Amino acid sequence: PEPEEAVSDDSSRHGGRVRRFPHERGSWATHVYLPCRVQEEFLELLELLVSRARTYVASLAAMEEFHLSLSQCVVLRYHWIDPFVRSLKERLAPFHRFFCVADQVKVYTNENKTRTFIGLEVSAGHFQLLELVSEVDRVLEEFDLPTFYKDPSFHISLAWCVGDMSGRLEGQCLRELQDIVDGFEDAALLLRVQWDQVRCKSGNKYFSFPLR
């Protein structure tokens, strides 16, 4: 029997967020990403950024966990999960740990413009990320699933809100947020992130793939 996956399409129960696709029994939302462990000083910087951005969009909420996406959110049938994970493990096995610098503030919206994000875009380490995405894409293609975006803007999301608020956050707000990052003590060291594992979340299951 298939394990039950907790399901709710009531957007009021998760901050007004809307599903990109309707839930179907046996279909598991799946995402491949690099998990980001942050230091206490990073949370201090986050608080400064969100406080300033809220003067432009009061509904902004800080992220509680941080990651860098290597795939879109795709739908896997339950019986595909194990072979999908095995294929990921095989393709990611040769990769070594590496560093990125994520220090450029940028505003993003999701594809259907139902959410807006403030993120830190990667300014160094792009090549290694593209290599990882290339292997993840090959696994997705094996299962006839959508691959990652062409020419992706790799980033770590910091805060989000419902709706398309990009017009309010870009321009003056974005310049002020970048000034905060540039002027933050030890920002150069703080925003140099080491990646030591890739993770895959499928429904309520998590799988980790350590980098060498």
What's the pLDDT band for 15 if we cut at 50, 70, 90?
Answer: low
- Residue 149 is which amino acid? Y
Q: Which pLDDT belongs to residue 102?
A: 97
Q: What is the mean pLDDT of residues 199-208?
A: 97
Assess whether pLDDT exceeds 50 at residue 97.
yes
Residues recognised as catalytic? 67, 155
- Residue 94 is which amino acid? P
Write down the domain spans for the chain.
27-204
Q: Which pLDDT belongs to residue 193?
A: 96
Assess whether pLDDT exceeds 90 at residue 19.
no
* Average confidence score pLDDT of the chain: 91
And the tokens for 151? Answer: 């020419």
CATH number of 27-204: 3.90.1140.10
Q: What is the mean pLDDT of residues 141-149?
A: 97
Q: Which pLDDT belongs to residue 26?
A: 81
Q: What is the DSSP letter of 161?
A: E
Burial degree of 120 (CB within 10 A; 0-12, 13-18, 19+): buried
Is 158:121 a contact under the CB 8 Å cutoff? no
Q: What is the mean pLDDT of residues 139-152?
A: 96
What's the pLDDT band for 16 if we cut at 50, 70, 90?
Answer: low
